[in-house]
């Protein structure tokens, strides 16, 4: 029994040693990339987002497996330790905010698991020391090899459209009145939101300079976020459409990470539209859609998050409008 406890303790130390080396590797690659780029853009590279956690997982498991055979579940889950540790270190040192960490972790954990599996197979089944060393060297250098040229190949510019709908028991005039302008929203009016919990600002108010095409809506959000929305379609009780221009010079730099800043290099919101659809039931189906830009080396992953964030925000706004419209409609009937 004592021997078993000692073996387990020894193996635990071995696993932690592998995780520590994987973490140190990840930190070293991050610091080297930050020194090379100098502006924090390294985290938006595939070499950092994909191949660094892959290499961290590979190194972590390889070091443990080469000393003692591990179970397959160790190959799959042990790589999470250095990846989560690196993410926490980035937050504690203020290199990254919660938003970026939350967006990175699902992909980072997945590819680190792949790296761990490859590391385990390499350590267990490659008998030649030369083959092992070559494999380790290739994986360690992979992020540094890919980063210099990846933007020329993978960088893309993509337009995305997100639409949400809600059915409202209220006359079209009431609904229109609540979308052309949005009076100040009290915090208790907003439904709970996962995007708010990870740091995205809440909608506050939308004013309108004048009715008709050319009118300018000032759409404000918490933490100093402001958008100028210029009306280019004005069809009362039917359709309201506008271009959106974020006031980036007025948004405090601490509000959103550079990598998710609206109007920044990687993400921007371009248009918004409300459309009223009368239903046979007497309700109004209110459509709220938006168009946004995603410009990264990995739009295939980034747009999953931008679509989700925009859908969550629009759902919250529609919920507020629905409650206000139906409350007003009940008040009109009672009078």
CA-to-CA distance for 170 and 233, rounded, in angstroms?
23
Quote the DSSP letter at residue 238.
Answer: T
Instruction: Output the pLDDT for position 257.
Output: 67
Cα R_g (the chain), whole angstroms: 26
Pairing of strands 158-168, 216-221: unpaired
DSSP string of 143-199? HHHHTTTHHHHH---EEEEEEEEEEE-S-HHHHHHHHHSBPPPPGGGSPP-HHHHTT
CA-to-CA distance for 232 and 241, rounded, in angstroms?
6
Q: Give pLDDT tens digits for 96-155.
A: 778 888 999 999 999 999 999 999 999 999 878 888 889 999 999 988 888 777 777 788
CA-to-CA distance for 19 and 24, rounded, in angstroms?
9
Place of tokens 């790589």: 79
Which residue(s) pair with 205 in the sheet? 220
Q: Give pLDDT tens digits for 155-199.
A: 888 999 999 999 999 999 999 999 999 999 999 999 999 999 988
Q: What is the pTM of this model?
A: 0.87
What is the average pLDDT across 65-72?
91
H helix count then E strand count, the chain: 11, 7
Which residue(s) pair with 182 in the sheet? 206
The fraction of the chain above a pLDDT of 90, given in percent, is 65
Q: How confident is the model at residue 238 (pLDDT cuts 50, 70, 90)?
A: very high
CB atoms within 10 A of CB 261: 18
């Amino acid at each position: 029994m004592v021997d078993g406890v000692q073996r387990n303790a020894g193996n635990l130390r071995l696993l932690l040693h592998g995780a520590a080396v994987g973490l140190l590797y990840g930190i070293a690659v991050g610091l080297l990339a930050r020194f090379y780029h100098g502006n924090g853009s390294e985290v938006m590279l595939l070499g950092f987002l994909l191949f660094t956690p892959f290499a961290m997982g590979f190194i972590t498991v390889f070091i443990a497996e080469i000393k003692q055979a591990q179970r397959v579940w160790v190959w799959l889950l042990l790589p999470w330790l250095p990846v989560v540790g690196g993410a926490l270190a980035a937050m504690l040192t203020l290199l990254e905010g919660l938003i970026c960490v939350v967006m990175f972790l699902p992909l980072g954990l997945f590819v680190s698991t792949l790296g761990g599996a490859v590391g385990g197979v390499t350590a267990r089944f490659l008998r030649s020391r030369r083959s092992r060393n070559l494999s380790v060297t290739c994986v360690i250098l992979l992020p540094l090899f890919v980063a210099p040229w990846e933007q020329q190949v993978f960088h893309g510019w993509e337009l995305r459209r997100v639409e949400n709908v809600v059915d409202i028991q209220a006359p079209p005039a009431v609904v229109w009145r609540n979308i052309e302008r949005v009076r100040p929203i009290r915090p208790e009016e907003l439904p709970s939101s996962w995007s708010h919990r990870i740091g995205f600002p809440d909608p506050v108010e939308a004013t309108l300079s004048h009715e008709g095409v050319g009118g300018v809506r000032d759409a404000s959000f918490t933490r100093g976020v402001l958008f100028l929305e210029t009306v280019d379609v004005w069809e009362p009780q039917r359709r309201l459409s506008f271009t959106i221009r974020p006031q980036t010079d007025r948004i405090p730099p601490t509000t959103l990470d550079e990598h998710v800043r609206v109007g920044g290099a990687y993400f921007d919101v371009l248009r918004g539209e409300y459309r009223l659809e009368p239903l046979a039931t007497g309700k109004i189906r209110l459509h709220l859609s938006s168009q946004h830009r995603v410009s990264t080396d990995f739009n295939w992953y980034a747009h999953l998050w931008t679509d989700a964030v925009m859908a969550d925000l629009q759902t919250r706004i529609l919920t507020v409008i629905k409650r206000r419209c139906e409350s007003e409609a009940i008040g009109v009937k009672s009078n």
